[in-house]
């Protein structure tokens, strides 16, 4: 069996004293396509945020790509290799135009302007967003923002995708296109969603978050 890409061991986390995760174990291996399900407020988003270090656990261990991550600097490499799609696209988009938003990550990784431009073009084309480069981000529809937010994640060429309610705000056509894209991608993926038909199409195994812990 291959070594885990991401592993949580006995992780506890609470918001202002309210327990959300308690003794939580989680494992993502190469090739996994995991559906993360559970009731509203059960901690699905919290788990994804812990993986990339946006939150730090109260106790327990987070290991990503072979390294134990304890402090903020430990997660810098994790965020480069694990792309998180936020539940709210407005939390992900902050540049004036689509091209600037999608190109921000590659430029931050040291790509030249020409290299970043090529990545932007290729990524937008894969999402059927060609011609959106100069569109003003805040004027996009909810579904368009969702796809552009995904483009910002894919442009980083991550090893792992962490998707938080990826079909939120998408119409049937956009949802179908997204499913086709995810099926074709090589990355290991964790998808937190209530969209069961979408999960059935795009994931191979379901893990459930109940009472602060993951069960299969």
**Owner of token pair 């910002």:** 152
pLDDT at 216 over 80: no
CATH numbers and ranges of domains, the chain: 6-215 (3.40.50.300)
pLDDT at 133 over 80: yes
What percent of the chain has a predicted confidence (pLDDT) above 70?
Answer: 100
Q: What are 1-21's pLDDT values in tens digits?
A: 789 999 999 999 999 889 999
Query: Alpha-carbon distance 79 to 37, whole Å?
Result: 23
| Residues 184/127, Cβ–Cβ less than 8 Å | no
* pLDDT score recorded for residue 169: 82
pLDDT at 81 over 90: yes
Q: What are 82-115's pLDDT values in tens digits?
A: 999 999 999 999 999 999 999 999 999 899 999 9
Read off the pTM: 0.94
């Amino acid at each position: 069996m291959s070594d885990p890409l991401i592993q949580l061991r006995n992780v506890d986390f609470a918001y202002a004293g309210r327990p959300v995760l308690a003794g939580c174990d989680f494992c993502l291996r190469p090739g996994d396509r995991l559906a993360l399900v559970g009731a509203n407020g059960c901690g699905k988003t919290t788990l994804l945020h812990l993986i990339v270090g946006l939150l730090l656990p109260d106790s327990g261990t987070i290991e990503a790509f072979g390294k134990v991550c304890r402090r903020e600097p430990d997660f810098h490499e994790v965020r480069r290799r694990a792309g998180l799609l936020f539940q709210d696209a407005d939390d992900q988009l902050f540049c004036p135009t689509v091209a600037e938003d999608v190109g921000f990550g590659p430029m931050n990784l040291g790509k030249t302007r020409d290299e970043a431009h090529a990545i932007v073009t290729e990524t937008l084309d894969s999402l059927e967003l060609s011609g959106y480069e100069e569109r003003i981000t805040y004027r996009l529809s909810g579904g368009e923002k969702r796809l552009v937010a995904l483009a910002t994640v894919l442009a980083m060429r991550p090893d792992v995708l962490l998707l938080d309610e990826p079909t939120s705000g998408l119409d049937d056509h956009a949802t179908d296109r997204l499913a086709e894209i995810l099926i074709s991608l090589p990355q290991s993926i964790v998808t937190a969603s209530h969209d069961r038909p979408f999960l059935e199409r795009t994931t191979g195994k379901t893990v459930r978050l109940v009472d602060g812990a993951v069960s299969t």
